[in-house]
Amino acid sequence: MAHLALIGSTWGCSGEALEHAELGAANGDRRDDDGDAARSSLEPLVTAIRVVNASAEVRSRYTPCTGSYTIGIRPAAVDSTPRSPTCTPIDCATLNPGEVLTPVIECSAVACAPSRVDLPPGAADADFDWDGRYLTLTKRNCYDPTTFEPGTPMLAHVCFGKPAAGDYDVQGYTCTDHPFAYGAALLEIELQ
């Protein structure tokens, strides 16, 4: 079963996080002596994201074990979303200067029954308001909330498939990236 995680300031079951790419000029970050990204002074800009089933068939997605459904957001300059080195994302501001978190090899997962949401043709999935903060994974294995200049290219990562025979099964589950500009008030994603 695939897992979904918000790449922002809320996390799903998977514990995925984002590796910091060299985004310096794009978002005005500066580096401190530890090589971590220092917090951007820009105000975060919220984007409302709506997923609409524009196809003639039902589209389905998994639901997370904990929290609510979220959509993965990352800067277009970041190629992938590697696993988090810690079980719970830790804000760098909560660490002592120079403190480095030890990576955790195994994390306990929340046990839950499988679940699926079916989206009929023409229906919209639950709207999601992304808070405009991207959690940058630093060299200290902690996360620095980062904001960007308006217009910076971003990607919204959504995953859907079709309902399968079982009550909770999804077939043809695929993920796609949808570009938008940082600061856009609304991103509407149409599933085909």
pLDDT < 50 positions in the chain: 1-35, 37-38
- The pLDDT, as a whole number, for residue 68 is 75
Give residue 39's pLDDT. Answer: 52
Q: Is 94 exposed, middle or buried (0-12, 13-18, 19+ CB in 10 A)?
A: exposed
Q: What is the pTM of this model?
A: 0.77
169, 163 contact by CB (below 8 A) = yes
Domain boundaries, the chain: 18-191
Helix locations, the chain, DSSP H: 24-27
Model pLDDT, residue 40: 58
118 within 8 A of 126, measured Cβ to Cβ: no
pLDDT on residue 155 = 96
Rounded Cα distance, 133 and 8, in Å = 5
